[in-house]
Amino acid sequence: KQEVTQIPAALSVPEGENLVLNCSFTDSAIYNLQWFRQDPGKGLTSLLLIQSSQREQTSGRLNASLDKSSGRSTLYIAASQPGDSATYLCAATHRNQFYFGTGTSLTVIP
Amino acid sequence: EAGVTQFPSHSVIEKGQTVTLRCDPISGHDNLYWYRRVMGKEIKFLLHFVKESKQDESGMPNNRFLAERTGGTYSTLKVQPAELEDSGVYFCASSQTQVGYEQYFGPGTRLTVT
């Protein structure tokens, strides 16, 4: 059974700092991995989708990497801003199902 | 283009009552998914529709949950009778194709069973 873990569970950083969020999965046979952002009381907003054949994806200040062999993905946020404060979730597609991590709650302090 | 919408946004019912949640996917998306997040746990898959057919319902917790997608458009998820452990946030998502494409999530329905 696929299990997805996110570390740390919570993170607080000063504005302007670069940061890395971690996601690990137990079964490397994933089809793709998707990073989401969730704001309080809101739904999930897709940030980046990495196919299993890809190593990384970039969108603006966000860069997500994927290492299937080690079962890891990272989300790098450059020059963090208070507006980046949210919960970040990763989800791995495995056997046509999405497996979510429990998320990292990020607070960027002005 | 409208995103995935869900109704109601919040529902509070008593144990033993029935509740029906509705999801309207993005127009043209054949694939529709239901997920649930209970307090302190990760979001978990419930089931997947391709058009009006159930492709995978392996995540449905028990037979008190019934999902339908008549006509392949909107979907409903009925919980009957509701139990305390059913409380949580129910998310719906849709995608154009089954795999390889992004899933777009709705805002969720927060269900509270008292």
Tens digits of per-residue pLDDT, B57-73?
Answer: 999 999 999 999 988 89
Q: What is the DSSP letter of B41?
A: S
For residues B6-22, b (16+ Cβ closer than 10 Å) or e, as one string? beeeebebeeeeebebb
User: What is the β-pairing status of strands A62-67 and A56-59?
Assistant: antiparallel
Q: What is the pLDDT of residues A57-107, one digit of tens each?
A: 999 999 999 999 999 999 999 999 999 999 999 999 887 788 999 999 999
Instruction: Tell me which residue in A43, A51, A97 faces B100 most closely, judged by beta carbons.
Output: A51
Determine whether the interchain pair A46/B104 forms a contact, defined as Cβ–Cβ distance below 8 Å: yes
Q: What is the 3-state secondary structure (H, E, C) of chain A?
A: CCCEEEECCEEEEECCCCEEEEEEECCCCCCEEEEEEECCCCCEEEEEEEECCCCEEEECCEEEEEECCCCEEEEEECCCCHHHCEEEEEEEEECCEEEECCCEEEEEEC
* Angstrom distance (rounded) from CA B56 to CA A107: 37
Q: Token match 């995935």: residue?
A: B4
Residue B78, H or E segment: strand B75-79
User: CA angle, corner A1, sides to B54 and B50, nearest 5?
Assistant: 15
Residue B46 binned pLDDT confidence (cut-offs 50, 70, 90): very high
Tell me phi and psi for residue B16, to 5 degrees. 95, -15
Q: What is the pLDDT of residues A22-70, one digit of tens each?
A: 999 999 999 899 999 999 878 899 999 999 999 999 999 999 999 999 9
Identify the closest residue of chain A to B43 by CA–CA distance: A100
Residue A3 binned pLDDT confidence (cut-offs 50, 70, 90): very high
Q: Token match 């309207």: residue?
A: B24
Q: What is the 3-state secondary structure (H, E, C) of B3-31?
A: CCEEECCEEEECCCCCEEEEEECCCCCCE
* Angstrom distance (rounded) from CA A93 to CA B56: 14
User: Chain A closest CA to B56's CA: distance in Å?
Assistant: 9
* Angstrom distance (rounded) from CA B80 to CA B72: 23
Q: Note the pLDDT of residue B99.
A: 58
Instruction: Tell me which residue in A31, A98, A103 faces B103 most closely, judged by beta carbons.
Output: A98
Q: Note the pLDDT of residue B98.
A: 64
Q: What is the DSSP letter of B72?
A: G
Determine whether the interchain pair A31/B99 forms a contact, defined as Cβ–Cβ distance below 8 Å: yes
Q: Note the pLDDT of residue A77.
A: 97
Q: Note the pLDDT of residue B81.
A: 96
* Angstrom distance (rounded) from CA A61 to CA A58: 8
CB A44 within 8 A of CB A37: yes
Identify the closest residue of chain B to A101 by CA–CA distance: B42
Cα atoms in the Cβ-side hemisphere of radius 13 Å centred on A44: 26
CB B87 within 8 A of CB B112: yes
Residue B100 binned pLDDT confidence (cut-offs 50, 70, 90): low
